[in-house]
Structure 1
Amino acid sequence: MKTTALALSALLAVTATSLVATAVHAEEPVTVFAAASLKESAEQAAAVWKAAGGGEVTFSFAGSSALAKQIEEGAPADIFISADLKWMEHLDKAGRVRGDTRVNLLGNRIVLVAPKDSAVTATIAQDFPLSDLLGDERLAMANVDAVPAGTYGKAALQNLNVWDSVQDKVAQAENVRAALLLVSRGEAPLGIVYETDAKVDPGVKIIDRFPEASHPAIIYPAALTTDGKNPRAAKFLAYLQGADAHAIFTAAGFTVLAKNN
């Protein structure tokens, strides 16, 4: 009897410890590493999720390349949302995201912007005179070799036969929001950013959109990471594909790609 009682006591202790650990873990926030251009809309979606009882979500916003490298090095993320397929594919091949959870979440456009009081006008087309518009000043762009907004912009300028005339005038920033800030502050007369970025900064105005055919399709893929342990991460990723989040992203100017009915 004594042995049975001790065994039962030990079992209850282990069960209680397990339940406490599970409860504590369940209360931890879902950690999302997301492209900088998603900041306002993702935070708004998370606020709606929390208000509906979904729990806390914390974000790390930066250039997709920087976030991917952090995840590859073991940074504690539950979900990764990239601004292009390249960096998601990089992590998938490295075994750092769960390929079975990958979804193409959103689409976007890139635009040419200027400070809000600028008198510059332009129509983006083949051989348009971007270098003349810049004069001796700089074109703000995210890093053209690593950050998606920069690589999309460079591809567009190359396809429009404009890159060679402006490549020495580019002021490269660590992410698209940093490039946007250069224009908003008047430190650069023109910049290339996502259309959704331009819409959230009253200090800039859109000069024109780049033709969609001038660059690869802008796609934001999302996936759970392989190291993520939060049991609510999958639910939040599903929520981002649902009607409430769709309304938020659409209002921000994104194109909804993922359908979760």
Structure 2
Amino acid sequence: MRRLLVAGNWKMNASVAMTEHLLSAIRDAEIDTCDVAVFPPFPYLALAHSTIADAPIRLGAQTCSLEQSGAFTGEVAVSMLSEFQVALVLVGHSERRSLYGETDKIVLLKTLRVLEQGMTAVVCIGETLEERQAGNEREVVETQLRLLLDELSDQQWQSVVLAYEPVWAIGTGETATPEQAQAMHRYIRSLLQQRSADIANTTQILYGGSVKAANAAELFSQPDIDGGLVGGASLDANEFLGICRAK
């Protein structure tokens, strides 16, 4: 049985005061309906780690470097993240793909780096508005998944979470209908099924795209949606907790 996971991606939003306030509120809340993860910006990982140290909240990082060490100014190695008990790393978020040129090959290599360190890779996939309007959304998603399906072992897949994020619904206030989201999640699971029934049955597939407390319950009730990758709503404690408690 796949357990729901609600993951808050703060993107480039944080301060010391905000981190303390937001994480303290989440830490002190009683959440038994799902697993919870937060992805603060790099400078706040140490503060986040100390704030949630004794709480059942998993700490995540928003990206990582392909490199392990060396003269790579501005980069952060996966081994550095592990010192702050980072458990999950986002890989291939649509903003990393579109703004920083991350290709499917880079996504595969970063995923391998994360898995080598014993962490979970949360791999993001999804189509743009133009691709959906052209009817190419399934082809796009399959292409983004293909290297992972071909190159990762069954054991490595045990540490992979997928996040389907229709790019046209990220930060726009637009949301795929529960039926649209479920249809794509079902398709993604069918691709996993072609590789392995066990992988298909156990891999969590999150929905990311303007998830809010108001729509979370209906989204999470879909059979192939295993939680949410939450953007803007994760910056408000009450809203985020509302999503975590959605039934």
Pairwise same-fold verdict (TM > 0.5)? no
Query: How high is the TM-score relative to the length of structure 2?
Result: 0.28
From the CA coordinates, give the structure whose radius of gyration is larger.
1
Query: How high is the TM-score relative to the length of structure 1?
Result: 0.27
Higher strand share: 1
Structure possessing the higher relative contact order (Cα contacts under 8 Å, 6 or more residues apart): 1
